[in-house]
């Protein structure tokens, strides 16, 4: 995405159309569009030819962008879990979740609202196992454990040296709906209390007593990146695929909803007390 945005900026600065850029690398206008959106891999030769077309002759600038192209094509750690990434419907966008994991790992700010269950970045292994088994009733134990391992691997990002800020609002329904037995839920609630005390995590609970609220459209995640050239991305998970929204007006609407949820609901301290109260009821 970062390389694509840089290439788009250079093309537009020279007044070159996508059609002309595509002609220069023996490709279509639509391929240039996909490259600039970061939705296809990059051939070094294509990037070199585009930089020449855009008048980039400075050796250092060219080297920097070509290095970015090389890094863009390196498989992430999650590719080792490709055997258990979503393929329930292999003919319908089977790569949607690896895309999300890559974006999540690059984000410096993750904001989310969850209503069905605890956000994946905050799930315990036992809770995650119960969630996976609920969604994959006929799966082999090995496949279930691989999916749980993938979820736990993602969580390392939250406690790394350069961990992102994570702001999440959990609907009370996500905390009261049992996955696993009572001990699993008790362990999950204790884990939420502990994680909510980390300096980079802001956890809030939207209680039932509040009634209707702005999160009526369902769960979503907003990913923000440290690079100024990259726009925020809204991630909406669906049954067989996902939507990634990056148009400013779309992102702004989801940001407004999350801001209202955070403003209207109890703050982090009161939410922590709510978690402790639910824990006592288990």
Confidence of residue 282 (pLDDT cuts 50, 70, 90): confident
Helices 2-13, 29-36: crossing angle, 10 deg rounding: 120
Compute the average pLDDT of residues 77-95: 48
Would the pLDDT of 133 be above 80? Answer: yes
pLDDT for position 87: 43
pLDDT band for position 108 (cuts 50, 70, 90): very high
Contact 188, 118 (CB under 8 A): yes
Residue ranges matching CATH 3.30.870 in the chain:
77-281
Residues 120, 168: Cα–Cα separation, whole Å: 11
Token pair in block for residue 275: 């978690």
pTM equals 0.77
The pLDDT of residue 75: 64
pLDDT surpasses 50 at 94 = no
Decide if pLDDT at 93 tops 50.
Answer: no
Query: What is the three-state SS of 31-100?
Result: HHHHHHCCCCCCCHHHHHHHHHHCCCCCHHHHHHHHHHHHHHCCCCHHHHHCCCCCCCCCCCCCCHHHHH
Neighbours of 143 (CB within 10 A): 14
Cα distance between residue 98 and residue 87, in whole Å: 11
What per-residue confidence (pLDDT) applies to 81?
61
How many whole angstroms separate alpha carbon 20 and alpha carbon 53? 10
Contacts of 151 (CB under 8 A, 6+ apart): 120, 123, 128
The residue ranking higher by pLDDT, 124 or 60, is: 124
Between the CA of residue 108 and those of 94, 161, 176, 259, what are the distances in Å?
26, 12, 30, 18
Q: pLDDT at residue 170 above 50? A: yes
Instruction: Indicate if the pLDDT at residue 231 is higher than 90.
Output: no
User: What is the architecture, at CATH level 2, of domain 77-281?
Assistant: 2-Layer Sandwich (3.30)
pLDDT at 22: 93
Highest CATH level, class, for 2-72: mainly alpha
Beta bridge partners of 235: 221, 244
Which position has the higher pLDDT, 100 or 154? Answer: 154
Mean pLDDT in residue range 136-146: 87
Mean pLDDT of 247-270: 95
Spatial distance between the Cα atoms of 109 and 233, rounded to a whole number of angstroms: 11
**pLDDT at residue 178 greater than cutoff 90:** yes
pLDDT at 257: 95
Q: Which residues does 258 contact at the CB level (< 8 Å), separation at least 6?
A: 111, 112, 113, 167, 169, 220, 222
- Residues with Cβ within 8 Å of 66's Cβ and at least 6 positions away in sequence, in order, are 44, 47, 48, 51
pLDDT at position 260 is 95
pLDDT surpassing 60 at residue 213:
yes
- Which of residues 139 and 14 earns the better pLDDT score? 14
Is the predicted pLDDT of residue 263 greater than 50, yes or no? yes
Question: What secondary structure letter does DSSP report for 242?
Answer: E
Could you tell me what percent of the chain has a pLDDT over 70? Answer: 92
Average pLDDT, integer, range 96-118: 88
CB atoms within 10 A of CB 174: 19
pLDDT of residue 88: 38
Looking at every residue in the chain, the average pLDDT score rounds to 88
pLDDT band at 80 (very low <50, low <70, confident <90, very high): low
List where CATH 1.10.260.40 sits in the chain: 2-72
Nearest to 244 by CA among 42, 78, 38: 38
Average pLDDT over residues 90-114: 74
Q: Where are the beta strands (DSSP E) in 152-217?
A: 165-171, 201-206
């Amino acid at each position: 995405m970062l390389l694509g945005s840089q290439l788009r900026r250079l093309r537009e600065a020279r007044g070159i159309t996508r059609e002309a850029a595509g002609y220069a690398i023996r490709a279509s206008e639509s391929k240039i569009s996909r490259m600039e959106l970061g939705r296809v891999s990059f051939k070094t030769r294509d990037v070199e030819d585009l930089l020449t077309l855009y008048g980039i002759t400075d050796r250092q600038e060219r080297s920097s962008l070509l290095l970015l192209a090389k890094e863009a094509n390196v498989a992430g750690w999650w590719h080792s879990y490709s055997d258990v990434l979503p393929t329930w419907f292999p003919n319908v966008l089977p790569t949607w979740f690896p895309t999300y994991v890559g974006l999540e790992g690059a984000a410096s700010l993750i904001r989310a609202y969850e209503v069905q269950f605890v956000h994946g970045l905050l799930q315990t292994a036992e809770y995650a196992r119960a969630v996976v088994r609920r969604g994959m009733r006929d799966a082999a134990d090995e496949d279930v454990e691989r999916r749980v391992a993938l979820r736990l691997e993602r969580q390392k990002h939250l406690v790394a040296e350069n961990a992102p800020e994570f702001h999440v609002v959990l609907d009370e329904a996500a905390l009261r709906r049992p996955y696993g037995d009572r001990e699993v839920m008790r362990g999950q609630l204790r884990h939420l209390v502990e994680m909510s005390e980390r300096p980079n995590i802001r956890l809030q609970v939207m209680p039932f007593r509040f009634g209707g609220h702005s999160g009526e459209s369902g769960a979503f995640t907003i990913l923000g990146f440290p690079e100024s050239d990259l726009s925020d991305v809204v991630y909406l998970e669906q049954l067989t695929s996902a939507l990634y929204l990056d148009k400013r007006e779309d992102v702004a609407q989801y940001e407004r909803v999350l801001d209202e949820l955070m403003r209207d609901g109890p703050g982090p301290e009161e939410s922590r007390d709510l978690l402790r109260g639910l824990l006592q009821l288990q």
